Amino acid sequence: MFSYRHAFHAGNHADVLKHTVLIAALQHLTEKDAALTVLDTHAGAGLYRLDGDYASTSGEAADGVARLFAPTTPALTPALQAYVDMVGDFNQGKALRVYPGSPFITQRLLRSHDKLKLFELHPTDLRALAGNVAQLEAGRQVAVLHEDGFEGIKKFLPPPARRALVLCDPSYEIKSDYAKVLDMAADSLKRFATGTYAFWYPIIPRPEAHDLPRRLKTLATKAGKSWLHATLTVKSSKITETVTGDTKRPGLPASGMFLINPPYTLKAALKDALPQMAELLAQDKHATHTLESGG
Ligand code: SAM
């Protein structure tokens, strides 16, 4: 069984990028009245305690979301402000205690006629997710499925109103996840060519991770689809040596979001938000961002 638990990483720089993109995309997609289906292939637990054992152990939120809540934080660009407002909504007062994962961020932005399907395989996270979702009293709007998200979404494509956002956010704990993302993207485009697809991936020194955005680009281009690719780097990926001669891995230095059929407003929103994200979340002088599009 998997050992990855998102609770250790909730609110880190990768979540800031992923959830800022998710919010901006959903804000656009919910402007039209027609019903939207959101498929979250790797949902996680839904809500995380930032003052709990997991988050305190890793301290990743301190260098992520918490920096955007610091008293010294300057005025934020609209997309980043929307992200901060969303996280703030889950926290009473000033203390940052709760972090909303993609299921709860999405649910907040949906209208009553929209649908949300959540896939989660880890039994502990599944239990937590189901319990958290039950508190929402969202009725039939939100479904929690104990299924493999890569496979499970097939039965929901195309959605009834022919409008969908698919968020695919695996932990990439298993190397085969990279190939599964590509297979899922190709299969989904055949089932539902006009859906909006958003894939998160880690930027780490591993050939599969390096190749993923390039292969997604090729896939989208061959299918005649538009795409948008945003990356955020917060520090160098170099392995350093400590004074005692041990090697020190830097932790996740960077990540990317690759979208197929992105909302047309997203590029401009990220063009403003990404430089500010890189500046505010920088951990060393290597912090930077990229934004490219095509199709
Ligand atoms: N999307 C979440 C968010 O933004 O809040 C975080 C998801 S976390 C990065 C990945 C999750 O996928 C983990 O909770 C893991 O247990 C789950 N998982 C791993 N493989 C899966 C699969 N094939 N199908 C569904 N869930 C899976």
Q: What is the CATH number of the domain that holds 101?
A: 3.40.50.150
pLDDT in tens, 26-71: 999 999 999 999 999 999 999 999 987 766 767 899 999 999 999 9
Residue at 280 is within a domain: no
Q: Is residue 88 one of the residues assigned to a domain?
A: yes
Task: Please give the sequence-ordered ranges of beta strands (E in DSSP) within 60-181, or none if there are none.
Answer: 98-100, 115-119, 142-145, 164-168
Ligand 1 geometric centre to CA of 136 (Å): 20
What token pair was written down for 251? 């932790």
**Is 11 part of a structural domain of the chain?**
yes
Closest residue by CA, ligand 1 atom 12: 42
| pLDDT, position 69 | 94
Let me know: does 59 contact 10? Beta carbons within 8 Å. no
Residue 74 CA to ligand 1 center (angstroms) comes to 33
* Residue minimizing CA distance to atom 16 of ligand 1: 122
Please identify which residue in the block is written with the tokens 């300057």: 74
Q: In the prediction, which pLDDT does 112 show?
A: 95
CA of residue 170 to ligand 1 center, whole Å: 5
Domain membership flag for residue 220: yes
In angstroms, rounded to a whole number, what is the distance separating the alpha carbons of residues 204 and 206? 6
Q: Is there a contact between 47 and 105 (Cβ–Cβ < 8 Å)?
A: no
What are the distances in angstroms from CA 269 to CA 88, 164, 272? 20, 20, 6
What is the model's pLDDT at position 95? 85
- Output the pLDDT for position 190: 98
Please tell me the total count of domains within the chain: 1
- What values do phi and psi take at 258, rounded to 5? -115, 125
Question: From the candidates 40, 63, 114, 169, which is the catalytic residue?
Answer: 169
**Residue 69 domain-assigned?**
yes
CB atoms within 10 A of CB 52: 13
Between the CA of 186 and the centroid of ligand 1 the distance, in Å, is 20
Determine, yes or no, domain membership for 155.
yes
Nearest CA to ligand 1 atom 7: 44
Q: Is 11 in the pocket of ligand 1 (CB under 6 A)?
A: no
Tell me, using a 6 A CB cutoff, whether residue 102 lines ligand 1: yes
Residues in the chain where the model's pLDDT stays below 70: 1-2, 54-55, 57
Residue with tokens 């019903």: 35
Which ligand 1 atom is nearest residue 103's CA? Answer: 5
Note the pLDDT of residue 1: 55
Ligand 1 centroid – CA 4 distance (Å): 9
Beta bridge partners of 116: 38, 142
Q: Which atom of ligand 1 is nearest the CA belonging to 148?
A: 24
- Residue 149 is assigned to a ligand binding site: yes
Structure tokens at 277: 């994200």
Note if 246 is an active site residue: no
Pocket test of ligand 1: the residue of 121, 145, 150 to mutate, having most ligand atoms within 8 Å of its CB, is: 121
In a domain, 279, yes or no: no
149 CB near ligand 1 (under 6 Å): yes
In a domain, 205, yes or no: yes
d(CA 130, CA 143): 9
Residue 19 marked ligand-binding:
yes
What is the interface pTM, i.e. ipTM, of the complex? 0.99
Beta strands, E only, the chain: 37-40, 47-49, 98-100, 115-119, 142-145, 164-168, 196-202, 227-233, 240-241, 247-248, 254-260, 288-294
Distance from residue 32's CA to the centre of ligand 1 (Å): 29
* Residue 187 in marked binding region: no
20 lines ligand 1 (CB under 6 A): no
pLDDT of residue 35: 98
Closest C-alpha among 198, 189, 113 to residue 154? 189
Is residue 102 a known part of a binding site? yes
Residue with CA closest to ligand 1 atom 17: 42
Q: Which domain holds residue 71?
A: 6-226+262-273
